[in-house]
Chain A
Amino acid sequence: MSSLILAHTRYQALEQLRVPIGLLASSLFPAISMLAFVVPFAGGDPLAATTATGSMMLIGAMSAALMSLSISVSQDREQPWNPYLRTLPAGPFPRFAGRILTTMGMMLISVIPVLVIAGLFTEATITVPRLLLGVAAVLVSSIPFMLIGLFIGFAMPSKAAIAVSQILFFPLAIVGGLMMPLQVMPAFVETISRFVPSRGAGELVWWLATGVEPKVLPLVTLVIWTLVAGAAAAWAYRRDEGRRFS
């Protein structure tokens, strides 16, 4: 089984690396945002800079989870290669695992430029254990976004998936307080943000990276989003299977 997961991960990773535009998008965008927003406005304050660096890492992870995953899943479904893969002697698990591991790999790569910029151009400070905790928090809190990405990928044709994932991505990033701190935004945004998964993900990352006490409600919301997105992704997967392979 593990050799099959490895084979599928290798296959997915090669596809991503040979057409690196997706990888570029998920690493370039947070790096640019970092230079444009974080360095000039929060770079001088160690806590603000560290928090903002966590947010930007999360943005890169969200982009890989929501956009790259949904688009690659929906595009693969449209290829005649996909039914062939189902005739190979493996269940759906190795392929899923391959996708998730590849997406996590993309996230880890997208984190690097953000960390480099934070280290060179801001006053952000962090200890090694906190850094590892922060990166782990990014990976864990990206799970609901991966599930949403899978839901979109299995439920929609690729053209719709491209549009919908982008439409979701930016409002989620902004309302969640990842693009700029919630303190500078109107009060009602802060109220709404408690109910979006990106806020909860942010709280988790900020907490583990800086030690600042998190708000509880957004964390609960994050868990609920994970469960709902998991159910939705499973439903979309089964519906798609039922349509094409029953």
Chain B
Amino acid sequence: MTVLARTVEVTRRYGSTLALDSVSLDIRPGELVGLLGPNGAGKSTLINLFVGLRRPTSGTVEVLGGSPADPLVRRGIGVTPQESGLPEVLRVGELVDFVSAHFPDRADRSELLARFDLGDLVKRQIGGLSGGQKRRLAVALAFAGNPRLVFLDEPTTGLDVEARRALWDGIRAFHAEGGTVLLTSHYLEEIEALAQRVVVVGQGRVLADDTVQAIRDMVGVRRVSLVAAELPELPGVIAHHREDGRVHLVTADPDRLVVELVRSGAAFSGLEIRPTSLEEAFLAITAKEASHV
């Protein structure tokens, strides 16, 4: 099987709202795909289609060679619940057992909990766990049935740096053993750290689909930063913000921007031009898209 999951020209409407507009996407075995997009771009809808929670208005969704509406197909996937909804009165071990009972191939409970640093919490009631512990438990549940394909919707939102890194290690270990992951995240740093392939969605469409490096290069935007009290209107600025007295400008044409800056006669110092981060590339892609509409 060359494709583990895919959508073929999938369109999804909610009433008059178009959430996905003819999206075709292939996820191949062993990939770790990062799904990026602003809120309301269609990320959650896409994941909901893949895990069988929603049906497409038109087009087809295929997972592991079948329909995600089929429970037998869903034996091969792992999904993360929102940690805010975990059943509070159950103990950690009981919940893992309950979820595992749905799968023919079950991960060893103590091994699974140890992998997400929950080993000594087996007997604790879930209501008494910290937010970070609940989050790790929620992610661990996605791996309870030894899935081939895992969907992680913002797995580390609200975690501190240390807990986030522990989770990343767990996800990397799964990927290293050949597992396939589709991941969404608020943190671009997370996508950069984990994913090899990035899919950018905006306004219900796939805007870009390539390696992290290629996405960065493709948009070719640069970050121009400088110290200045006040700046005139400058051409080609895609995004800008101020931080610690420095102004950061993201642009596709840094040469022209600098020329205009000098020409305007505005006082500035400490000029730097650097390649962009994924975040800036992402802003550039979605901004470009918005200006088309």
Contact = CB atoms under 8 A, between A and B. Distances in A.
Contacts of A88: 74, 99, 102
Nearest to A82: B85
A11 B102 CA distance: 13
A87 interface: yes
B85 A81 contact: yes
A18 interface: yes
Interface residues of A, number: 25
Interface residues of B, number: 30
Interface string B119-142: 000000100000000000000000
Interface stretch (B75-83, B187-195, B199-207, B276-284): B75-83
B52 interface: yes
Interface string A74-103: 000001111110111111000000000000
B87 A15 contact: yes
A81 B98 contact: no
A91 B79 contact: no
A245 B53 contact: yes
Interface in B73-112: 73-75, 77, 79-82, 84-87, 89-90, 94, 97-99, 101-103
A15 B71 contact: no
User: Among B54, B81, B97, which residue has the most Cβ atoms of chain A within 10 A?
Assistant: B81
Contact of B54 (A10, A89, A246): A246
B102 A89 contact: yes
A93 to B, nearest CB: 10
Nearest to A78: B85
Main SS class of interface, B: loop
A127 interface: no
A4 interface: yes
A81 B89 contact: no
B89 A15 contact: yes
B87 A81 contact: yes
Interface string A5-27: 01110110011001100000000
A81 B81 contact: yes
B53 A90 contact: no
B2 to A, nearest CB: 24
Task: Tell me whether chain A's interface is mostly helix, strand or loop, or mixed.
Answer: helix
Interface in A1-51: 3-4, 6-8, 10-11, 14-15, 18-19
A14 B90 contact: yes
A68 to B, nearest CB: 15
B72 interface: yes
Give the residue among B74, B79, B85, B90 with the most A Cβ atoms within 10 A.
B85
B51 interface: yes
A3 B101 CA distance: 7
A79 B55 contact: no
A7 B106 CA distance: 14
A11 B54 contact: no
A147 B54 CA distance: 27
A80 B82 contact: yes
A89 B74 contact: yes
Interface string B43-78: 000000001111100000000000000011111010
Contacts of B145: 89
Contacts of A6: 101
Contacts of B102: 4, 7, 88-90
Contacts of A8: 98
Contacts of B79: 84, 87
Contacts of B86: 81
A80 B154 CA distance: 15
B87 A10 contact: no
A162 B51 CA distance: 32
Contacts of B103: 89
Contacts of B54: 245-246
5 closest A-B pairs by CB? A84-B81, A80-B85, A81-B85, A7-B101, A18-B89
30 contacts: A3-B101, A7-B101, A8-B98, A10-B98, A11-B87, A11-B94, A11-B98, A14-B94, A15-B87, A18-B90, A80-B82, A80-B84, A80-B85, A81-B82, A81-B85, A81-B87, A84-B79, A84-B80, A84-B81, A87-B51, A87-B52, A89-B72, A89-B73, A89-B102, A89-B103, A90-B71, A90-B102, A245-B54, A245-B55, A246-B54
